[in-house]
A and B are shown apart, each in its own frame.
Chain A
Amino acid sequence: MNTSAAELVRLESVSHSYGAGDSHHKALRNVSLSIPSGQTCAIVGSSGSGKSTLLNLIGLLDTPTTGHLFLNGKNMSLCSAEALAIARNHTIGFIFQSFNLLPGLSVLDNVALPLLYRGVKRHHAQEIARYYVGCVGLGDRIKHLPADLSGGQRQRVAIARALVAQPALLLADEPTGNLDSQNVASIIELLMTLNDDFGTTLIVVTHDTSIARKMSRCINVCDGKINEVLND
């Protein structure tokens, strides 16, 4: 772990709770965490421990109930929904367990979507998207709809979509949860290569200890609290 690297994500005594009154449930309790740029980090923990909540907060999909979250040194807890959307587009790439490709759009249009929201012209966005679809090895499938692809291929498209905006931070929520073992290996390899080549910060939520072991850092979430597990 390179402590001199710039800090990308920082959580300062963040708590998060769902519901109100009697049904009130505390998912995260007073979590403080710092992730430097370029690190690979696994988040592990049992179901309902709060690891997805942690990822959603880092991904700016949710706002902490108390505490502060800094992204690139900027306090995101104070930002409007609009500013958060722009920050997500510029800084963060998402990879979901269930791929979350838009079923009506072709592979190429799915990948180009983040650029379109950024204001890039369709033609230009598709040109860039074509490059990234090629990078994940699906250059011959750009006109296909997601329904025509296998699970592994869909996740590759999702990765291309996460990469197309050249994010500093890649968030993956159990990216291999719906894949067979052969695809798991190649997807993880692809993610690790990205970290090596581009220095993209990688945060992966996973159940799979073999994946967690490949990361430079592993955070265990248990009952709303975190503790570091040291990788060998």
Chain B
Amino acid sequence: MTESRYSVPQPSSHSVRYGMPFSQQILESLENLHLLGRRAILALLGIAVGCAAVVALLNIGRNAENEAMRIFQGMGSEIMVANIQRLMNGKMNPLLPSPNLDISALHKTIPEINAASVLIPASVQVRMNGRTDSATVVGSSAELPSVLGLTLAQGRFLSDFDGYSTYVVLGANVAEQLTQINGHAVQPGTVIQLGDYLYQIVGILASTGPNPIIPLSIDDVILMSDRGMRRVIGLPQIGNVVIRSQNSDGQEHISSRLQAWLAEQMPGFDIHVQLPRQLIEGMEQQSRLFSWLLTGLGGISLLVGGVGVMNVMVMNVSERRREIGVRMALGARPRDIATLFLLEALVLASVGALLGAVVGMFSAWLFVYFAGWSDFVFSLTALQLGTGSAIAIGLFFGLSPALSAARLEPVDALRDV
């Protein structure tokens, strides 16, 4: 100590605010976590798994919703479906067929309707090439392709003049199955036996994919004229009436008029007209509920991760008791000690959240890829909610150990235990 006091480097002026600079505090917490080593990684893993679960599940939920919406969008919002059921307590004889509907009269009553068709489903035995199989036959009107946007791969569709004739049109999948049974391709002109009658195939439809608004898949049925259904089953019952309106405006108005007309034409039947929008809304509600359930699941894993953080921080505080005392002796205020440990918990949770976000996004992408869904939709909400709640959980569970450290008396912290 030979130098005079004046050559000693002096701390800068008194105007400096008391307390460690924030950058220094961050640096310290990083260094301390590095010293914690494997234990920090374990706590971090808990948070990462929780965050990954939230991010992945929310993202998958979002993608599932998107996929469902995509299917709905294909069918167009101008389509409307009336579900028809016989009232069981009515005075009508249940052994009577449902009345024939005059589609041309419907066009006159509601001119906004572009095309309409009944759907009369029935199960039937198909015989071909000496083998028997069962199939669904649907009686429909000539306008069905216009209503559902069907296109023909081969031949023609049924016309109004096919009334009672023995002509059928095959859905794409049915045609494929019959080809396998037949040994060679079925085509217009091929004859098949349905029940007790022989029918001639006049057309084969192109594949349409599933349409969730109607209760059957057109690809999987054999279509024939509604009037000819009497030949297949004794009591043909109209299951649905599908219509397409000119545009998507005034749907409610059209649906109520359709309801009224059908009720008038078909007394003793329960008629319920459904709009695609209602279906979409129901579906959205369902997928939202699903999303929340998944989020809850992710939240529980996050909570478990938070307990892991708390565990590490409690251990950390009790092991570094003496260090806390030394820091207090050197001038650390209670709030400096609290910040020290809170920042450590925060850094721990943030790194875990970041890791979890990456893993969660990747696993959601993997899921969507292997589920064969159209394309991956990145959900920003999932990312924000996942990382945000992970960091909040880390802070929440880090708070109590940090405060207990700050509340230590310096003399107690320095004492040997």
Contact = CB atoms under 8 A, between A and B. Distances in A.
A128 B9 contact: yes
A89 interface: yes
Nearest to A193: B1
A118 B17 CA distance: 7
Given A94-B329, A104-B31, A115 B11 contact: yes
Interface of A: 56, 59-62, 81-82, 85-86, 88-90, 94, 96, 100, 102, 104-105, 113-122, 124-125, 127-128, 131, 135, 161, 165-166, 190, 193-194, 197-198
A203 B330 CA distance: 17
Contacts of B18: 86, 89, 117-119
Contacts of B330: 88-89, 94, 113-114, 117, 161
A198 B172 CA distance: 101
B24 interface: yes
A124 B10 CA distance: 9
A62 B409 contact: yes
Contact of B331 (A62, A117, A124, A194): A117
Nearest to B328: A85
Contacts of A116: 20-21, 24
Contact of B326 (A100, A119, A121, A131): A100
B341 to A, nearest CB: 14
Contact of B332 (A60, A85, A190, A198): A85
A88 B9 contact: no
B156 interface: no
A6 B344 CA distance: 44
Nearest to A59: B329
Of A102, A124, A190, most B-chain CB atoms within 10 Å: A102
A116 B329 CA distance: 13
A86 B414 contact: no
Contacts of A128: 8-11
Nearest to A63: B409
B371 interface: no
Contacts of A62: 409-411
B327 interface: yes
A185 to B, nearest CB: 16
Contacts of B11: 115, 118, 120, 124-125, 128, 165
12 contacts: A62-B411, A82-B334, A88-B328, A89-B330, A104-B31, A116-B24, A117-B19, A117-B336, A118-B331, A120-B12, A128-B11, A166-B8
B95 interface: no
A102 B333 contact: no
Given A88-B330, A116-B24, 15 more contacts: A59-B329, A62-B411, A82-B335, A85-B332, A85-B336, A88-B329, A96-B326, A105-B31, A117-B18, A118-B331, A120-B11, A121-B12, A122-B24, A128-B11, A161-B330
Contacts of B32: 104
Contacts of A102: 323, 326-327
B108 interface: no
Nearest to A173: B414
Interface string B382-394: 0000000000000
Nearest to A171: B329
A62 B5 CA distance: 32
Question: Looking at A61, A94, A135, A197, which has the most chain B CB atoms within 10 Å of its CB?
Answer: A61
B333 A82 contact: yes
Contacts of A125: 11
A114 B24 CA distance: 13
B411 A119 contact: no
B35 interface: yes
Contacts of B96: none
